[in-house]
Amino acid sequence: MERVDHIGIAVRDLDERITYYTETLGLKLLKVEEVESQQVRVAFIDAGNVKIELLEPMSDKSAIHGFIEKRGEGIHHVAFGVTGIRERMAELREKGVRLLSEEPGPGAGGAEVAFMHPKSSFGVLYELCDKSGKGEK
């Protein structure tokens, strides 16, 4: 794992929460994007050394929908920036870490992403996020 790329926060209403992060906390909104495959609308907030990813469910098929129903709004995942995501996934699998998919899938900003099951990471949902070749940091 190279660095923390972003911290994912589950929210009920993206526009309302963007106002909190920008106007109340004084942070900068970087972009808003829909990630169809994950059924989420996301906003990236610049927090200096790390981004905050606000996630609003687009439907009840979204993992964020179930999370908010069970636990309410709050910290949902921590994303590690990696390069060579398939190799990293293979290494983790060999070490006994349970991944939620065989292959990475599309994430925000054209990244390839994959998740580790929170049960095998001791209560934390970790994402692997590979933006190599996308020109974004």
Ligand X SMILES: C[C@@H](C(=O)O)C(=O)SCCNC(=O)CCNC(=O)[C@H](O)C(C)(C)COP(=O)(O)OP(=O)(O)OC[C@H]1O[C@@H](n2cnc3c(N)ncnc32)[C@H](O)[C@@H]1OP(=O)(O)O
Q: Which residues bind Co ion (CB under 5 A)?
A: 8, 53, 79, 127
Assign residue 101 a region (left: φ > 0; alpha: ψ between -120 and 50; beta: otherwise): beta
Q: How far apart are CB 38 and Co ion at their closest, in Å?
A: 8
Among ligand X, Co ion, none, what binds residue 35 when CB lies within 5 to 8 Å by partner kind?
ligand X
x/- track of binding to ligand X for residues 51-80 (CB under 6 A): --x-x-------xx-xx--x-----xx-x-
Any alpha helices (H) in 1-137, and if so which ranges? 14-19, 63-71, 85-94
Q: Which stretch binds ligand X (CB under 6 A): 11-19, 22-30, 87-95, 100-108?
A: 100-108
The answer to whether 105 contacts ligand X (rule: CB under 6 A) is no
The answer to whether 131 contacts ligand X (rule: CB under 6 A) is no
The answer to whether 118 contacts ligand X (rule: CB under 6 A) is yes
Radius of gyration in angstroms for the set of CA atoms belonging to the chain, rounded to a whole number: 15
Q: How far apart are CB 46 and ligand X at their closest, in Å?
A: 15
- What is the Cα–Cα distance from 23 to 45, expressed in whole angstroms? 12
Rounded to the nearest 5 percent, the helix, strand and coil shares of the chain are 25, 40, 35
- Closest by CA to 86, choosing from 109, 127, 114, is 114
Q: Which stretch binds ligand X (CB under 6 A): 15-23, 24-32, 38-46, 86-94?
A: 38-46
